[in-house]
Chains A and B, each alone.
Chain A
Amino acid sequence: MSPQKRVKNSQAQNNTSQGSNSRQTKLSAWKVKRDPSDSKHISKHGQNSPMEDYEHVDDQAEDALQIAVGYFEKGPIKTSQNKDKTLERHLKTVEDVACKNGLAPEGIDILLNAALSGKFGNAVNTRLLKCMIPATLISEDSVVKAVSWLCVGKCSGSIKVLFYRWLVAMFDFIDHKEQIKLLYGFFFASLEDDALCPYVCHFLYLLTKKENVKPFRVRKLLQLQAKMGMQPHLQALLSLYKFFAPALISVSLPVKKKIYFKNSENLWKMALLAVRQRNQGPSPEPLKLMLDPANVRPLKRKWNSHSVIPVLNSNSYTKQCGKKEISLSDCLSNTGSFPLEQLQSFPQLLQNIHCLELPSQMGSVLNNSLLLHYINCVRDESILLRLYYWLSQTLQEECIWYKVNNYDHGKEFANFLDTIIMAECFLQEGFYSCEAFLYKSIPLWDGLCCRSQFLQLVSWIPFSSFSEVKPLLLDNLAQLFFTSTIYFKCSVLHSLKELLQNWLLWLSMDIRRPMMNSPLETTLDGSMNSLSKLIDYVGWLSTIAMRLEGNSTFLLHFILDFYEKVCDIYINYDLPLVVLFPPGVFYPALLSLDTTILNQLCYIMHRYRKNLSAAKKNELQQKAKPQFSFSSKTYQEFNRYLIAMVGCLWTSRPFEKGIYIDPEILEKAGIAEYKSSLNLVHHPSLLSYTVSFLLQGKKWNWYLNYLFSEGLQGLKLFIRSNIHRSSIPPIKERIPQQY
C-alpha cells in the first residue's frame, strides 16, 4: 500500500483530533517516543496498523458493536461461567467505538437504559455512562426513559450524579427538549438531594425558561440557600430566576461572578470537541488558499498618483525622445500622428483615425468616450491586450474583499466599477478582464459589498458556453441567491435578465451575417443550446425561490419580467428558440392574488402564442432548415398551459387535465365548488374589479370591456388572441346565474 493512500485514509476518516493523531503517528517515530503520554496513542493505532483492509476492519467493528449492544440489552447471563470475560470484551468494544466514532442514537438508547436499570454493577454502569458519546445527536426519548429509571431507586447515588453530569455535558446534543421541559418539576424536586444538588442546579440552569420561574420555586430555592449557605450553584440558578422575574426575588446576588459551576463536563471534553466537528462537517479547504490576508502590503496609491485610472497621456516616451529622432520612434510607429490632447470631438476622431496617437497607458481610455469609440473599431490586438492586462491587475488590486481589514477604499472601488460599467454600456459589450475577475472573486464575495456593481458586471459577461459559465459563476451565485434576502434574489434575477438580453443581442447580430463556409450552423445549434440552458437555469432558480419566499408577488414580478424577455426571442431577436416557463412559475402566477401578475402572465402567454405560431408558419413555408424546428413537446407544453388558463378564466373548468386534486381535500377546505371560483369574475385577483363593476350597475356583457378599460392590456391581448367569442358571449349567459 502506498503511503499516499494511507494519508488519504486518515484524512478521509474525519477531521477529529484522532484523525490528526493517527496521521502523525504513521510518520517516523520522530521524537514521539520520548513523550510517554503519547505512547498510548501509538500502540493503539499500532493495532489498527494493518490498514490494508481498513474498511473491512470497520465492518468488523460494526458487527462487534451490535453484538455488544445486544448483550447489554439482554442483561448479564447468570449461568455463564466466563461471564466476566464476555462482559469485559463487550464493554471494551463499546468503549472503543464510542471514543472513535461515537454511538448512534439507538445504541445510546439501549446502553443508557442498561446503565441505569441496575442490571449491572456500579463499575460497569459507570464505564457505560462515560462512553455515552453520541455520533451526532441523542434522542430526547432516551433521556426521558433514563430519567424514569432515576425514580425507581435501581441506581446508586454516584450513578445518578454521573448521569446528571452527562446530561449537562450533552445538553446541546439532545435533539428536542420539549418533553424534558415537561419534567422540570421532577428535576427541581431532585434539588433536595444534597449530593445531586450542584449538578441538578447546573442542569436546571440550562433548562430554565421564563415560564418555569414560579413563586413556590423561588421560595424553595431561598430555603435551600438558607439551609446550605451561599452555594455558587444555587446562586447561579437564583440569579437566572431573578433575571427572568426580578419582582419575585429581592435578595441581592453578587453581580460579577462569572463561574458558578465546576466544569462538570470535563469528563467528555475531548469527545465533545470531536462530536462538534463531526456535526459541523469538514470545512471547505481551498478557500484558505486565498483567504489569507494576502495584501498585507497595500500598494502605495502614491505610485499611481491619486486616481486608479491613469491620466490620459500621449506616449510620454515619444515626447521625451522629442527632436532627437532616434530609431526608437520607429518602433512606436507614430510618424505624423495626431496628438491625443488635441482630440476633442467626434469629427476630429473620424478625420484622424488612421494616425491617432495612442495613450501611453491604455487604461486611460475608460474615461474618454472618444477613445472608447476608437478601441471599439481598432483591429490591433495588442491594444486590447494592454487594456486586458491593466484592467485585470487593477481589479485584483483594488478589489476590497481581497483585503482583510481594508474597507476604507470601498467607495473608491465602487466608483471604479461604475466607470467600467459605464464603458461597458457605452460599448454595449463586456470586457474579458471583468469576466475573469468575476470568476476569480465571486467565491470570496459576501453578496453585499458593491452589490449593484457586481451584479451589473455579471450581466455584461460576454456570450460563452453555458456549461463553462455555470460552474465558475452561476453555481457560486446560486449559493448566495438561496441564502439571501428577497431583494437580493430579485436583483440577481434582474441581472440575469440583462445577461440574457445582452447575449440575445450579441447572437442576433451574429446570425444576420450571411453564412459562408463557416461552421456557423453547428455553432448556432450550440449557441441556442447555451441560451436554453441559461433560461432553464433561471427557471430552476425561480421555482426554488418561489418556494423559499412563499410565492411572493414581488419576486414573481421579477421572474415574469425575465420571461417577458424569453417569450419573445423568436420574433424580437430572430433566433430559433422558444423556451417555456416551468410549472413552478406558471401556476403561482395564474393563482396569484395580484392583478398585475395575472395581467403580465396573460401578456406572456399571448406573446408565446405569437412566437410559436410564427415559428410554425416559417417551418411550414420553408422546410430547408429542419434542425431549427421545435420539438412537439414545446407545443404540447404550451397547449397544456393554455388549456389550464382558459379553463380557469373563461370556461370555469379549471385543471380538468394534468392536475388531479382529491375531492376530499377540496371538501375539507370548504371549496368543493371550486370550479367557478377561478373564472374572470371570481378570480381572487379580479374580485375587486367585479365588485366595483357591479356597483356601477352596468350590463354584464360589458364586464370584459370594463376590465380592458382598467388597463389590463395583457388580459385583453390574451382574450383577443385565444378566445373566439360566438355572437352571444358565453359570459353573458353564465355569470348572472351564478350571482
Chain B
Amino acid sequence: MIRAIRSARTQCEERGVIQRECAAIRAQFRQVDNGGARSHNLAKLLYVHMLGYPAHFGQMECVRMIASPRYSEKRVGYLGAMMLLDEKQDASLLITNSIKNDLAHSNQYVQSLALCTLACMGSAEMCRDLAPEIDRLLRASNSYIKKKAALCAVHIVRKVHDLGELFAPAARSLLAEKNHGQLILTFSVCYNVFVPCVSQTVPDLVQIMKGLVISGYSPEHDVAGISDPFLQVRILRLLRILGRHNETASDAMNDLLAQVATNTDSTKTVGNAVLYETVLTVLDIKSESGLRVLAVNILGRFLLNNDRNIRYIAMTSLQRIVGTDHNAVQRHRGTIVDCLKDQDASVKRRALELSLALVSASNIRTMMKELLLFLSSCPPELRAQAASGIFHAAERYAPSQRWHIDTILHVLTTAGGDVRDETVPNLIQLITNTSELHCYTVHKLYRALLTDISQPSLVQVACWCIGEYGDLLLKGECQETEPSQVTEDDALDALETVLQSHMSSPATRGFALTATMKLSTRITENVDRIRSIVSIYGSCMDVELQQRAVEYNALFRKYDHMRAAVLERMPVIEKNSSGHTNGETAGDAVKEIQPAAVKQTGPLLPQQPANQVHPPTVPVYEKDGVSLTLICEKTSDSGMTVTLTASNSTDSDISVFTLQAAVPKSVQLHMKAPSGDFLPARGAAKVTQMVALNNPNKVNLKMRIRISYNTSQGSAYQDTVQIDSFPGL
C-alpha cells in the first residue's frame, strides 16, 4: 500500500488512494476476525496517520488488538495506542485493564510493551491504578524489566508526585546494581525524583565515576574512546544536583571533577559533551576556586574551537556565569566579539547577549564600535534586541554626553525602525538636559533629516529639535561641527517635506506641524509661510492634525500676543514626568486660556464616569435670601467637578447673577457655562454652574467664589465667600 501512496503523483491522487484504503480498512475492522490481516491494516492506518490524515476510527481497533493474545497484534496495537491515543481520549481508559493483564504476563517482551506504552502516554488515573504493579516489577529479578519499570516509575512520579514515596525503597536497592544498563536507569530515576534519599551516596557515585573514567576499554559501552558517555553525563548531572547547596558533597567531588576535566579526550563531540557537563557541574556546586578557573579555561578553549556547536554552548555557559565571574569572562571578550561576525544566526544571538553583558565602563568605546558595526549588518530579528541593549549600555556607561548623543543618533539612522517607542521621549529628555550641545545636536539632526526621512523615530526627534532650537540652527555657526548656512526657507522646506511625505506616520506629522509652529517665534521673515502651512492642515483628514492646525490658527489670529509666551523654549524635563513629552503642551496651552484665573497649562485628565453615590449638598453661602450650595464629585485621580447651585428665597427677583471662582496656584480651573443668570423670587428656579477642577499636586483645595447680582431694585451686589473644605473629596 505504501508503494501505491508514494506513486501517487499529485496531492489529489494521493488523497484518492488513501480514501480508498481507509474505506477498505474500515470495512475490515468491522469484520470480527480475519486472521493476520488485522495488524497489517492497523499498520497501514498508522502510516496514513503519519502523513497527516485523520485516523481516529482506528482507536477502538487499537484497544481490541492490545487485548488480543497474539504478540504481533499486541505490538502493533500498542504502537497504535501510543500514536493515536493520548491522555485526553476516553479510549485510553479502556486499555488500562489490558495493560494490567499484560504487566502480569509471563513473557517479558509483552510486559515491556505494556511498560513502554504506560511510560509514553499514561494518564494520571492510569498511573495511579497501575503503580503497585510497577512497584512489584521494580523488585523483580529480571534486569530487562527492571529497567523499563524504573523509567515507567519516573514517568508516573512526574505525573502524580505523591507516588514518589511508593517507589523510594525499590529505588534505593537499585543503587547497588553493577550493570551499566541498570545504573543509568537508577540515576535517571534518582535525579528526577528522589534526590533527598540519595545524598549520602555521593562517595559511591564518585567511585563509580572513577571506575568509568579510568577503567579499560569496554566495547559494549564505548563511544569513540569514551566509556559510556551517557552514563558519565548522568552521574555528573546527579552530582551537580547533590552538590548544589551542599559543602560536604562538593568537597567530595572536587578531585573527581578535576580528573574528569583533565583526562577526557576532547577531539570528538562525545568528549566535549562530557567536558561540558563537567564544566556545568563545577560552576553550579560550591567548588574551590582552582577548579572554577579550570572550568572557565575549558570554556575558553571551547570558544576557540572551530566547531560552531562548541562555540555556541561555550557562550551559553559563559552567559550563566558572567554575573558571578565577570573578570574571568572578560578575558575572552575578544573572541566573543569576533563571534558577532559569525554567519550563523544562533551563534550571533548568543554572542550579542554575551557582549551586552560584558560592556563595562572601561571598554565602552571599543565595544560600542563593534556593536554598532554589528547593528548595521545583523539579521532583522535581532535588531530590536541589539538596539535596546545598546541604549542601555550607552545610558549606563556613556563617557561623555556628546558621545552618548552621537551613539543614539547612529543607532537611529541604522535601525530606526526597530527601536522601541519610548526611545523618542528618552532621547528628547536627554537632549534638553545637555544644554551646551543644543547647537551641535540640532545641526546634526538637521543634516540627518536631509539625507533620510524614512526612519520614524529619527524624524520625530529631528523635527522636535528643529522646532525647539531653530534659532540655533539658523545662526549658522557652532563650535563642534563645521558651520553650514541654513536659511529659514531650508528649515521650513525640510519640515514641509516631512509633513507631505507618505512615509510619515500621523504622529510624525504631528511633530512636524508643532515644530513648524514653534519656528514662527524663532524666525523673522517667513511667518506668513508658516501661517499658510498651518491653515492648510486646518482641513486635513486626520483629526489629530486638524485639531492642532485649528488651534495653531487660533493662536495666530486671536491670541497672537500670547504666541511668543506659549511657544517659548521648553524647560528641562525631569525623567518620568507624565504628560510632558513631545510638543503637545504647546498645543494644549490654547485650550486652557480662560477668563477665570488660570495659573498653569497642562492637559486635563480624562473624565471618568462619576460615582453613583450621591454626594452631599453643602450650603456654602447664605445671605440676604441668596443661598449657594455646593456638590462635589470626584471624577478622576486628581480631578473633580463642583456643582454650584444658587437659589433665591427673597420676594424679589434677582438678575445678572454671576459667579466667579479662584483657586490656589497649582490647581486648574475650568468654569462651564451657567444655566442662566436669573433667579426668580421664592426659589421658583435655581441656577447651576459646573466647575471642573484639576489638582495634580494634591494641594489643599480651597476656592474663593465671588457672587455678584442685581436686585430687582437695580442695585448691584457683590460678595465673596471662601470654601476651605470640600466634602466628598
- The answer to whether A and B assemble together is no
Interface residues of A (CB under 8 A from B): none
